[in-house]
Structure 1
Amino acid sequence: MTLRIGVIGTGAIGRDHARRINKVLQGGRIVALSDVNIASCEAVKNDIAPDAQIFTTGEELIASPDVDAVLVTSWGATHEQYVLAAIAAGKPCFCEKPLATTAEGARRIVDAEVAFGRRLVQVGFMRRYDAGYLALKKIVDSQIGAPLMVHAAHRNPAVPEQYVTPMAIHDTLIHEIDVLRWLLDDDYVSAQVVFPRVSSHSHAKLRDPQIVLLETKKGVRIDVEVFVNCRYGYDIQCQVVGEEGLANLPEPLSVVMRKDASLQNAILTDWKDRFIASYDVELQDFILAAAKGTASGPSSWDGYVAAITSDACVAAQETGAIVPIALPPRPILY
């Protein structure tokens, strides 16, 4: 049986997810589209999903008896309302990050899912599906002893003028917040942010770079460099130092070349290229689980924890203080 999927939000990521579902993956088909920009829906229908019905609102799409499962790839501020509607309808839902724009909103989703009694939501933290991170986790879990420290970096070549200091947490660090918690099987207890010298490529509303310092319940100390105007490429680094060894995240596959008296290899410049395979794997995972009426992978609880941690990191940006991170008891559902 083919899973009938509706996409709410047909911008860049929604369009790309629709393409992979209809043209790359197995078991799913795009049957419905919704976006505030109807022309965007029509473009996706014409190019990717000719049989899809266009709905005026996301709520109408979710309520349609012809839709089995939902992808929420709309503007972040709308995620909560659509995910809650999908839960109320009993339909599996894949939601791109953020799950909600506030921790309170994410908690409402957790509470609704717990009340429903079955997991329905998968959050789009695709790094858990990346082959490099999976290989790193296998080593961390079995070969280097107890983790003591993590040194990580998230570097972008450049960002738009509207990118401001808090976005370094909510839009950039959010991936490290989730994947490092998963990698270590641990939770955070505090956050601090320190600012080195500001890059000349930054602007008045963006302090760049910055270093985020996190501490976990098990006592692991984490430092993450966030540098979104590094100029040289899109570069994700992660090193875990354990009691008996250390392990590094593998570099993306690249041919090493000797030319013009130099030894060199290409560095990616686009995040979509760096994690393209992981998007395929995560959505195939969603389709398989949704066909059974449930969800797997990163959960609403993971989205909620990421929101709490993000809020603490932004408070640390603003105050310079070490900000405690307190989590409520984890529901049995998760």
Structure 2
Amino acid sequence: MKIGLIGAGWIGEEHVKRLAGRVTGAEVVAVSDIDPERAAAAAAIAGARVVDTAERLIADPGVEAVVVTSWAPVHAEQVLACIAAGKPVFCEKPLTTEAADGLRILDAEQARGERLVQVGFMRRYDAGYRQMKAVLDAGGVGVPLMVHCAHRNPTQPESYHSDKPMVDTAVHEIDVLRWLLGEEFATVQVVVPRSTSQRFPHLVDPQILLLETASGARVDVEVFVNCRYGYDIQCEIVGETGTVRLPDPAAPLVRSEGRASYAVVQDFPSRFADAFDTELQEWVDSLRSGVPAGPSAWDGYAATVVANAAVEARRTGGVVAVDLPGRPAFYQE
């Protein structure tokens, strides 16, 4: 599968490395970025050529599929261009920053009559989350009643603002919980506790996202992006007959100097490296059958709607209804 990549920032470069070195059945043949030096550096990893614009890369007859890892606000137009060209596209989250653009993508893909879009929600490919999904689907804990989650980062740069805990950070929980629970969210609320002093003054941190599913299950997600001690992802689902908890990453237990301890992962690339690899490998494999099998344009759209509602809920202090239309038959599982 000859792949063109748009956006040669950190995640773009990492995906070039994956596709060139760890994913079988793929070849990166073209790279585009608004910074020619970045594009050249990423292209050199795979021996690919540099294309000066995203539009030309998408139209290039030598490119069979596209990976979009560019700046989030331009994702929608680039994905729409891929659909118009009839080329499968893997778009890193978010699919769009505005819900209206998500609807445009849904309309375009349905008008085309074939699934072309996959969204980069890598947690669905993490071994621990997949084990949880298997337990839930088998009825291992009964009907889910409550979910408790934590998403903690050691620190964030000054550019990280108070909307990002929902649209950049908790969006991962929003998607993976939709997948685990198999239903949509109906309402959102954001509760703001006392802020940590270990933050830039403009940032509200931590924040607690409260969600209600269509069937009435309740979800709380603690988002704390300046916890200092490490990158810590937790999830526990409480059902009628039991609970299932996301396992921590495997780490050796060290006994020394009167203590027993194990290291805490320090960043998301380390925590989800295997998930990123599996995600792209399964995407490439699925293209052989002609249909991307991962998170769809509908999943990307739904996550944006919920995240945007969460931003509104924090700003207003109220409970906000999730204005999500019925899932089109085109996107039924």
TM-score w.r.t. the length of structure 1 is 0.97
Does 2:133 correspond to 1:137? Answer: yes
Which residue of the partner structure matches residue 259 of structure 2?
Answer: 262
Measured in 2, the distance between the counterparts of 1:86 and 1:293 equals 15
The equivalent position to 1:44 in structure 2, one of 27, 42, 47, is: 42
* Shift, 1:113, TM fit: 0.4
Does 2:291 correspond to 1:299? Answer: no
Which residue of the partner structure matches residue 58 of structure 1?
Answer: 54
Measured in 2, the distance between the counterparts of 1:194 and 1:209 equals 9
Which residue of the partner structure matches residue 9 of structure 1?
Answer: 7
SS of residue in 2 equivalent to 1:16: helix
* Shift, 1:41, TM fit: 1.3
Which residue of the partner structure matches residue 25 of structure 1?
Answer: 23
Q: Counterparts in 2 of 1:100-119, with a 5 A limit?
A: 100-119=96-115
Measured in 2, the distance between the counterparts of 1:86 and 1:291 equals 18
Q: Counterparts in 2 of 1:65-80, with a 5 A limit?
A: 65-80=61-76
Q: Do 1:73 and 1:95's aligned partners in 2 also have CA atoms closer than 8 Å? A: yes
Counterpart AA for 2:176: V
Measured in 1, the distance between the counterparts of 2:266 and 2:87 equals 37
Q: Do 1:114 and 1:331's aligned partners in 2 also have CA atoms closer than 8 Å? A: no
Measured in 2, the distance between the counterparts of 1:184 and 1:123 equals 19
Cα deviation per residue 1:226-257 (whole Å; 9 max; x = unaligned)? 00000000000000000001111011010011
The equivalent position to 1:94 in structure 2, one of 86, 90, 97, is: 90
SS of residue in 2 equivalent to 1:333: helix
* Shift, 1:141, TM fit: 2.2
Counterpart AA for 1:41: A
Q: Do 1:147 and 1:241's aligned partners in 2 also have CA atoms closer than 8 Å? A: yes
Of stretches 200-209 and 302-311 in structure 1, the one that deviates more from structure 2 is 200-209
Measured in 1, the distance between the counterparts of 2:119 and 2:172 equals 11
Equivalent pairs counted in the alignment come to 330
SS of residue in 1 equivalent to 2:250: coil
Which residue of the partner structure matches residue 150 of structure 2?
Answer: 153
Cα deviation per residue 1:202-225 (whole Å; 9 max; x = unaligned)? 232211011110000111000000
SS of residue in 1 equivalent to 2:46: coil
Which residue of the partner structure matches residue 214 of structure 2?
Answer: 217
Measured in 2, the distance between the counterparts of 1:41 and 1:153 equals 36
Task: Provide the alpha-carbon RMSD of the alignment.
Answer: 0.8
Measured in 2, the distance between the counterparts of 1:137 and 1:293 equals 26
Measured in 2, the distance between the counterparts of 1:194 and 1:311 equals 15
SS of residue in 2 equivalent to 1:138: helix
Measured in 2, the distance between the counterparts of 1:202 and 1:126 equals 27
Counterpart AA for 1:331: P
Measured in 1, the distance between the counterparts of 2:194 and 2:176 equals 27
- Unpaired stretches in structure 2, ≥5 consecutive residues: none
Does 2:120 correspond to 1:128? Answer: no
Counterpart AA for 1:121: V
What stretches of structure 1 move > 4 A for 4+ residues in a row? Answer: none
Q: Do 1:159 and 1:228's aligned partners in 2 also have CA atoms closer than 8 Å? A: yes
Which residue of the partner structure matches residue 203 of structure 1?
Answer: 200
Measured in 1, the distance between the counterparts of 2:286 and 2:128 equals 23
% identity of equivalent residues: 51
Counterpart AA for 2:284: I
Q: Do 1:62 and 1:70's aligned partners in 2 also have CA atoms closer than 8 Å? A: yes
